[in-house]
Structure 1
Amino acid sequence: MTDTKSLTSRLEALEAHIAHQDQTIEDLNKAITEQWTQFEKLQREISKLHAELEQVEAGGAGEADERPPHY
């Protein structure tokens, strides 16, 4: 009888442990998904800024030296 109680309690402990691990995995997956989305957004922004910088460097060098019209 004690073996059955012991095995039952061990089984319940293992089931609880697995349930906690499943929740932890879900939480980590959610965090990684959110971070990946943010990472992709930042990559797009960096690419956009890089393209704008190349445009400024290629064609805007002379314009930066000109005086504004209000002078």
Structure 2
Amino acid sequence: MNDAASEFSSRLDTLEASVAHQEKMLAELNEVVTLQWRKIDVLERLVAQLCEELQNIAPQREAPEPPPPHY
């Protein structure tokens, strides 16, 4: 029975170490995903701002160009 208890204890230690490692990896991955979402939010705001600026500039570009000075 002592060998069985020792083997059980060893297996339990291995499982606990594995779970601890997975929890650490999960926390690190969560941090990466959180940072990526923050960057995505910033980029989405920038794209929206640039689209708005382009829409404001578009009417100016559609106006006819004045003739060159030599006409």
TM-score (norm 1): 0.85
Residue 23 of structure 1 corresponds to which residue in structure 2?
A: 24
Identify unmatched segments of 5+ residues in structure 2. Answer: 67-71
Task: Output the CA distance in 2 between the equivalents of 1:23 and 1:39.
Answer: 24
Residue 69 of structure 1 corresponds to which residue in structure 2?
A: none
Task: Output the CA distance in 1 between the equivalents of 2:39 and 2:33.
Answer: 10
Q: Which amino acid aligns with 1:52?
A: E
Residue 15 of structure 1 and its aligned partner are, at CA, apart by: 0.1
Residue 45 of structure 1 and its aligned partner are, at CA, apart by: 0.2
**Which runs of structure 2 are paired with 1:59-70 in the superposition (5 Å)?**
60-61=60-61, 62=63, 65=65
Q: Deviations over 1:31-52 (max 9, x none)?
A: 0000000000000000000000
Residue 42 of structure 1 corresponds to which residue in structure 2?
A: 43
Equivalences, count: 65
Residue 53 of structure 1 and its aligned partner are, at CA, apart by: 0.3
Task: Output the CA distance in 1 between the equivalents of 2:49 and 2:10.
Answer: 59
Provide the secondary structure at the position in 2 that maps to 1:28: helix
Query: In angstroms, what is the RMSD of aligned CA positions?
Result: 1.6
Task: Output the CA distance in 2 between the equivalents of 1:12 and 1:54.
Answer: 63
TM-score (norm 2): 0.85
